[in-house]
Every structure is written in structure tokens, then in C-alpha cells.
Structure 1
Amino acid sequence: MSRATRRIRVRARLTAALALAALTTAWLTGCTASSPASPANGTKPELERFYDQRLAWKDCGDLRCARLTVPRDYAHPDNGETFVLPVAKAATADPGERIGSLVYNPGGPGASGVSDLAADGGEVFGAAVRARFDIVSFDPRGVGGSEPAVRCAEPDDGGGGDGGDDAQEPIAPRTAGDRSRAFAGARAEAAACVKGSRGILPHVGTDDAARDLDVLRAALGDRKLTYLGWSYGTSLGTSYAEQFPRRVRALVLDGAVDPSLGWSERALSQGKGFRRAVDDYAEHCADLAGDACPADGPQEMSDLLDGLYEEAARQPLPAGDDAYDVDARTLLDVVTDAMYSPEDSWGDLSEALGEAADGDAAKLAGMAADDEEPAGSHRTRGRARENDDEAILAVSCLDTPHPREARPYWDALAAADRAAGVYGTSSVVDELTCADWPAGTRRPHEVRAKGVPPVLVVGTTGDPATPYEEAESLAGQFPGGMLLTYEGRGHTAYGRGGSCVTRAVDAYLVDRRPVRADAAC
């Protein structure tokens, strides 16, 4: 996935530091042995000790928490190196009607599943699902409370020079000097992550995380996996289905990532998705923002945005003495972030853009600061700090092969500029760090999951980050794949797309009821 997905929002944020401290205390306890769900065959003897774990659950606020140990390198599982992963569950209130566990991943890559579950206790799931399943999530290898976790040191200058205190990094480097500095800076960032992560970067990819998911399935005591993945979580679910097709009970993939796309195709797909979403915002601003909309029509709104980008590129927009001024990249981040949940964000975005056009970017700066909250908020107290940005970089770069030389990026930049403007060029520039990343083993490919039961893919027609076309493609790649269309705006559908989506997904998860070929909500 493009590094522009660094800012993919998990569906909820933690609201209490006490819950975080309780989670950490609980998962730091141990595991005991003997799971009844170890695979009967196809597992190396060296892996049996991992599959034979039985989770030792402890109370952690309203949840139950444990930890799972998995091999760091599945090719050499007996070398003594491991990841220890936090796991949390919201137990069903009716154990007598329990089907099993429903494991989910909230997205990213880089989102903490444990923190996400603590935020709402699984309430995002429909009542029918909560009544029949324990809701379970975990921090994937390298993410959040994983031990060890991906860490990036402070990058060196990278050879680009400091450029002075007022120098700005352009959204789309066009001159030879800008491109040289951008590529050198990206190489320095990659080197800092290699240095800070102490050798774990080759082992944090999605295929290994999917193998961890199978160890978790066994440790939960489930013969087959019931799973829901949002956004990046669809990549994790797809990898699981390819590696363990006959261990799938039910699989929901919402906000699909198409595994057949290469790095530049994926960046272009996402750039187009954001371009369409911003155009939709310009056309319908008044519908959701009302009087806060700073323009009288689509063209006026587009002109206002273009003018702010041009002004911020020349000199950051002034935000007052108490905030950093807003440069062009920060403005872009705020605008694209608001496309994830229009019903929650378009009003604030409209007010901020209107005030910035009048010379005051303080509200834009405040929105940017809110987006950066995970780095130093109350959510980090009492537990390992979250590493969303570092982990999304690590997993995304490892999962998708990238060119080592600079020329292909500049070629892709031109195509993305023509197709999606700043939203396309920023997606391509975000890929530069991957040029110097440790090489993974995955390649773009269509799904290979012979024997998997029917998989339900959910696609939102106005999804900016995982465009609907990718959901159509992914559903068609699975044997017997089903596509549920949510005709709406924003990123992903289940939990925010209304009762129609909830009923269809819940019926599939509980009863494995198929959806019809043209199902739409």
C-alpha cells in the first residue's frame, strides 16, 4: 500500500489512559500449553510449540488480555528469536450460544488491534455478531505493543543540506535539485529505520503476520478462522486465505486492497481515489457542511483549494504564535484525512479552509496536530508507545517490490500528476523511502486460494483510500467471491454504512449466508 495510507484512520481512538495501563499489565502475563486446535498436518515439528500455546487470559478493564508468542523467522522457528504479541478479547455475553472467536484487524498497516478493541469494546460489531462470538484483536508483529516493535532512529541529513529554516519540501519535486534532495532524504529515512529496528524489518511483512494469525486461531481453540479485516486488514485476510484456505470458516474484507497491483499502480489508484473524493467534497460541500462551506459552488471551492496549495507552497500559511504555520504538505494531509469520514470531518474542514483563505490557518494547524496525536498523547502512557507511522512504512515497503534507482519514481510522478494532481504525486513521493528498504518475497499477483469457502468483500463507491475498483477486482479473484457494495462516501463500510451493511455482514459471519451477486446498500 502507498505510504499515503500512513494516515488511514483506525475506526476509533482510545478515550482513557487507565484502560491502556490495564491492557499492558494484563498482556505482560504468560501463556500456558496445549491448544486443542493445532493443525493435524502440514505443520513443521519445530512449530508445534507455538501452535500448542493456550492463552492465559487476565482481566484488563472491560476486556480480557493475554500474549501470544510466535517465531520471528518461520524458516528457522527454532532459533530462539520470537515476537510476543498482545491479544485482547471482548467475551460474548451468552457463552451458551457462542460459535467461537471473531478475529479482526482495524487497518493500517500499523494500527494496534488491542488499542482499537479497548476503544469501543467491540461495539462497532452488530448485536447478532457480539452475541455469538468473542471479539478478538491483536497487535501484529512489529506493531504497537509487539515485542520487539519497529522503531526508526532520527534520520541523518541524507546529503541534501539543511536548505535553511524556511526551506520546504515540495509535494511534487520537479527540479533536479529537489529530486536529488527528496531521494537522499528518503534513503536517510530508510537507513534510520534499519538502524532503529535492529534486524527485525525483514520479518514484519503481511505473509508472516498471516501465519501469526493461524497460530492465534489455534491458541484461541478454534478449528477454523472467522475474520474481518478493514483496509490493510484485507491484505492480512487475503494472505491468510492463500496460505490456509481450508482453515477459513468465514472471511470479510472491507475496504479492499488489490494484491495484483504493483507499487506505482497502487499509488495511482489511491491518488485517483482521493482526487475523486475531494472533487465530490467540492461539489457537495454545502450538503454536509451547511453554512460553514466557504464556497458557493464546486468551481469556487476547487479554486479556493488550488489557491491555498499554491500560497502554502510559496510560504506556509500563518497559524498564529501558538501553532506551527501550515505548509503545502500539511494542508494536503488535513484535506485527505477529512475524506475518510465526511460526516464527521467536512464541517470542520470547511471552517478551517474558509478561515485560512481569510489569512488565519490556526484551525488547519489544530486539525493537523489532532491527526498527529498518537505520537505523544495519553494513549502512550502506561504502555509501549504506538508506532503507527514507522510500522506502516515497514510493512508497506516490505510487502511490495520497489525499484532501487530513482528514474522509475519520476516517470510514475508524471503519470500520477496528469491523472490525479497533488493527490497522485504525493502518493508516488511517499514511495521513495521503499527504494532502499530490505527486500521482501511478495510479488504482485492475483489471489491463489483454491479450496477457500466463499469470501465476502465489501466495497464503498466513494472510498478515497481503497477505491471501489479494487474491491470489485478482489472479489473477482476469489473462487466464489462475493461483493457487497455500499453506495456512500468515506473509508470502509461495516460499522458506518448503516443497518443494511450490518445485516448482510452479520448474517454471513453468523450463518455464512451468501449475498446475491448484485447486493448493494
Structure 2
Amino acid sequence: MNHSASRRAALALVLSAAVVAPLAACGPDRTTTKAAPPATSAPATASPSASVTPVAPAEPADRPELAAFYRQQPAWKACGELQCATLTVPMDYRQPGDGRTFTLPLVRSAATDPAGRIGSLVFNPGGPGGSGVAHLKEGGAASFGDRVRARFDLVGFDPRGVAGSKPAVDCGSHEQSAEPSPAGPARNAVVPTTEAERQELLTGADRSAAACAARSAGILPHVGTPDAARDLDVLRAALGDPKLSYLGWSYGTYLGTVYGELFPQRARALVLDGAVDPAQDWTERVLRSGAAFRRAVDDYAEGCAAVVGRACPADSPEGIRRLVADLYESTARKPLKVDGSTARVDQNLLHNALTKAMYTPESQWKPLSEALRRAHRGNGTALAELAGGEAGGSGDEGTGAPVPDNSDAMLSAVNCLDVPHPADPQAYWNLLDRARQESGVFGAATALAELDCRTWPKGGTVPHRVTAAGLPPVLVVGTTGDPATPYEDAQSLAAQLPGGMLLTLRGPGHTAYGRGNACVDSAVDNYLTALTPVRPGTTC
């Protein structure tokens, strides 16, 4: 089985997590850097907002060893139409003075109305492993409303270990770390059907973990969300903001939630769109996410005619479901040809294309429909294109050279630290059987993605309900047909947060803000700019 393709197809945005066997002893870390705590750098320049006198940043009174980090002033310089800088944070917040650090790339788009500027709006595009730098450099400012762009500097960053972070997590490629499996040739299907195939998957997952340990063992224990949330507070202070204004999509909602728990008095406004529920354990997340993807494909079958019209691959919802089921069965036996290539579309690649298309129905359902129609005739070229590679890296802040995309590695690295997982393989096979029974191939693929966490380092967090006394009202946004972060998670998170406000978008797709719904965008913009509350039960 193609472990990497299966894992990517198995819902990259499902938050999972930690594990049991420490990897630090498995090999030396060759990427850890040592440096003295940062000195104050030059003040920001060349920005319309630089003339605004920054407020003295709050510092943890009981942690004077963090003072140098909190007093940084990023040295912004032009990088195209944006500005770039770096931020230095301690690698280990328990020992911030030991000289080990992460250097995080920053990018900002200055407020278009400097006179009305409120401050900075820090955002995280999701993942875990998403690059905020790449998001903004690739036109991500368009995700925000005009009023928000006018009154905030939009600030993106690469979290510790991600993309342009120095050091960054390096697990090598799957092809580099894998060896021929004793179980025989890789299967075409997503779901293992024999004990040998299960062992093949287990061996592949363990090899992936070992490859990460060999390259990055020294930093793997330090890339979890609690440390990233502490970095957010250092960033807030370095930007000169007395309180944080933040927007997180998908995994970014969990980062924002953890920030709110750690620093409730330092939050001004938090928007959490596409929520992750921190109270769920790894099995609950798998089962809920598998069901959400299955529902999303049903929503596609039901809504195809309204969205794409005559381009639908069949004449009725039932016909679309039958066509998809037939393709899953046939590609497991005989993969489809791809024009001009020796590559083939097997069940793994079909699953990858189908699940990816569920994220943005307004832009993906039509090409998916055309691809399914061609696949039904025996040609997998369009499906292969839909399942193609991810976006490139963010670009090195100093040289502008492309930064390797390590989002796959960071997906495991963060997930496997944030929520405990068992070491016993049987626990995964038991969950696989249940998930497959409840949600078919969608549940099974989600369960198999958790195998990577079996032998990763332990994290310090456990599933829990949010405790954040003093946190101001937080806006949680949920989409009823969200395939990756189920709507039920948004409902649960909003209920856990003190003063939590739930804004609902009825419809398919992953996350809501910035996708063109005027009702959602207006409510979020009003909250961010004027702290306007959202009334209970507000639905768009």
C-alpha cells in the first residue's frame, strides 16, 4: 500500500496525536541550533504602520529568563509587496536560557488604512504544518475582508518546525525511508484485507517514525501545539500588541484554543473557523471525521446537479453514489491509465482526489465530476491531476529560495504530540474495523492515518474540556457539511469556551470565512474590527 498517499487522503486536518515510545534516544539531531537569547533588533521600517508607537509588551513576571524573547522588535524589510522578518523563540520553554532556539519566518501585509489601524491580526491557515508565510505570499490576503485588511496588519508565520522554520522537522521522503516490504508488493486498495497487508502498513508506519527520529529526534518533542501557542504570545509582544487578535482555520482553531487557555488575559479577539474539539480522544476524532467525509460525499451526490449542472457524472444522486462505489471497487483490482505516463490511478489515488475535492465544492466539484465521468470510461488522467501535489514552500526569508514542503512530516509530528495514542497495534486494528463498519472506506482511511503515532514521542497534553477563566468572548465558526472538522466539533467547542459564540454556515465545504459567503464574512469582520458579538443561533 502507498502509505504516504493513503495518509494524505485520510484527512490531513484531523487532529490526532501523541504516542508512547520516546524517540530522542534513537539518533542525534543534526538540525538543532544553539544561540544566545535574542538581543533587541532594529525597529520596524518601511511600513505605513511602523509610525504607530507600540505598546510595551506584557512579559511573564515569573519568567524573567523569557524577557529577551518578549522584547524583540522584528527587523522588517521589503519582500515584494509584503514585509518579512524573523522571530526567535526558545526551543524548550522549560529551559529558555539553554541557547537552543527556533527562528520563525514572519510576513506581513500592512494595514491599508494606517490612521484607523487597530493592530496586528495573526493567523494560522491550518495543517498542522501549514505555512502562514506561504499563504500570505501566495495571495492569502484575499481571504480577509476589506475592513480587516484596512485596520490590521495581517501577519503570517511558520510555526516551529514548519517550512521555513530553522530548524525544521525533516523526516526524509517516504521513498527514502521505505524498504521493500516483507508482505510483498504494495496493494492498490486503501483498506488492508489480510494480516500480511496489515503488517505491511504497520512496518511502513514504524519506518516513517524511525526516519523522523534519525533526522530530527532533538526537536520532535518541542513542536507540539502548547509550545507553538507560547510562541504566539512572544509574537504578540514583538508586534507591540497588548492583546492578541487572531484567526485560525482548521488546526489553527486548536492553536488558538490552547493560546486562550494559556493566556486568557492577553486575548483581544479569537476567530476559530473549522473547529477542533480538544475534549475528544484519538478514537472519537477518527470516528467522527470518517463519518463527516462520508456525509460530504453524500452531499456531493445530492448537490451536484445544483452546483455543476449537466457536468455531473450521473443523472441522479443514487447514480453518482453507484458510480463512485463502482470506481472504488474497480480501481482496487485494475488501476486506471494516465495519459502520457506510466502512473496509474489505484484506489488510493481515487480516494485522495475525491476527499480533496470535498474541501471547496464551489471550485472542485465541477472538475471532480468531469474526472469521475472520464474515469468511468477508463481514463484516470483527470483524477490523477486532482490528486496531485501540494503547493510549494514559503521561500527562505533571507535568500528567497524555495523552502521544502514538510507538511506531511509536521502533520505527524504535531498530531502525535498533542493527543495520546496507544502502542498496541491491536488497538488500531480494532478501531479500523469499527471505523470501516460505520463509515466505509472513509472511516478506514482515517483510522489508518493514526498508525504513524504508535511509536512517536509522548506529549504532555490529554483530551480535556477547555478551561480559560477570563477569556473574552470567542467566535467559533462551523460549517454543517464540513468534511475535515465536523460541525459537531464547532458546537462542542463553542459550548466549552466562556462566552463562546457559534456562527453557522449551512452548506458543504471546509471552513467558512473567506469563501465568499457575505453573511459569514460580515459577521467575522464586525467581530474582529469592533468586537461586535454574534447572537446565539446565528446561521448563514
Give TM-score scaled by structure 2 length: 0.88
Residue from 72, 78, 81 that aligns with 1:62:
81
Tell me by how many angstroms 1:497 deviates. 4.5
Specify whether residues 386 and 292 from structure 1 end up closer, same or farther in structure 2 by C-alpha distance, changes over 3 A only. Answer: same
1:43/1:215 Cα in 2 relative to 1: closer, same or farther (>3 Å)? farther
- After superposition, residues 41-120 of structure 1 pair within 5 angstroms as 41-120=60-139
Contact 2:225–2:418 (8 Å) recurs in 1? yes
Write the letter of the residue equivalent to 1:460.
Answer: T
Query: Which runs of no fewer than 5 residues in structure 1 stay unpaired?
Result: 9-28
Corresponding residue number in structure 2 for 1:5: 11
What is the deviation of 1:78? 0.8
SS at match of 2:337: coil
> Which structure ranks higher in relative contact order (CA pairs < 8 Å, sequence separation ≥ 6)?
2
> What's the % identity of the aligned pairs?
54
Alignment of 1:75-474 (within 5 A): 75-120=94-139, 122-154=141-173, 156-157=177-178, 160-161=181-182, 163-164=184-185, 167-168=186-187, 170-322=189-341, 324-369=343-388, 371-374=389-392, 382-474=401-493
Q: Deviations over 1:344-401 (max 9, x none)?
A: 01111111111111111111112222x4453899999713212111111211111111
Q: Distance in 2 between matches of 1:121 and 1:230?
A: 13
Question: Secondary structure in 2 aligned to 1:335?
Answer: helix
Query: Equivalent residue for 2:531?
Result: 512
1:393 maps to a residue whose letter is S
Q: Does 1:488 align with 2:507?
A: yes
Q: Deviations over 1:217-249 (max 9, x none)?
A: 000000000001000100100000000000000
1:506 and 1:293 map into 2 onto residues whose CA distance is 35
TM (normalized to structure 1)? Answer: 0.91
Return the letter of the residue paired with 1:300: G
Question: C-alpha displacement at 1:96, in angstroms?
Answer: 1.5
Secondary structure, aligned partner of 1:122: helix
More displaced stretch, 135-144 vs 194-203: 194-203
* Alpha-carbon distance change, 318 to 378 in structure 1, aligned in 2, over 3 angstroms: farther
Q: Give structure 2 stretches of 5+ with no counterpart.
A: 1-6, 15-37, 44-53
State the alpha-carbon separation in 2 of the partners of residues 160 and 400 from structure 1.
Answer: 29
Secondary structure (helix, strand or coil) at the match of 1:65 reads strand
Q: 1:376 to 1:476 in 2, by over 3 A?
A: closer
In structure 1, C-alpha distance between the alignment counterparts of 2:475 and 2:226, rounded to whole Å: 20
Cα deviations across residues 174-231 of structure 1 (Å, max 9, x unaligned)?
A: 3211111111111011111111224111100011000000000000000000001000
RMSD between aligned residues = 2.3
1:277–1:475 Cα change, 3 Å:
same
* Superimposed CA distance per residue, residues 66-123 of structure 1 (whole angstroms, 9 cap, x where no aligned partner): 1000000111111111000001111112211111111111111111101101122622
User: How many angstroms apart in 1 are the aligned matches of 2:476 and 2:213?
Assistant: 35
Length, aligned pairs only = 497
Contact 1:126 1:506 (8 Å CA) reproduced: yes
- How far does residue 448 in structure 1 lie from its aligned partner after superposition? 0.9
Tell me the SS of whatever aligns to 1:496.
coil
CA deviations on 1:404-425 (whole Å, 9 max, x unpaired) are 1111111111211121110000
Deviation at 1:6, TM superposition (A): 2.6
8 Å CA contact retained: 2:335, 2:344: yes
Note if contact 2:124-2:248 (Cα within 8 Å) is conserved in structure 1: yes
2-side partners of 1:375 and 1:168: how far apart?
Answer: 31
CA distance in 1, matches of 2:445, 2:458: 23
Offset at 1:65? 0.9
- 1:32 and 2:41 matched: yes
The separation in 1 between residues aligned to 2:232 and 2:59, in whole angstroms, is 17
Question: Is 2:477–2:490's contact at 8 Å kept on the other side of the alignment?
Answer: yes
- Specify whether residues 72 and 403 from structure 1 end up closer, same or farther in structure 2 by C-alpha distance, changes over 3 A only: same
Per-residue Cα deviation, 1:250-308 (whole angstroms, up to 9, x for no partner): 11100000001111111111111110010011122222222221111122111111111
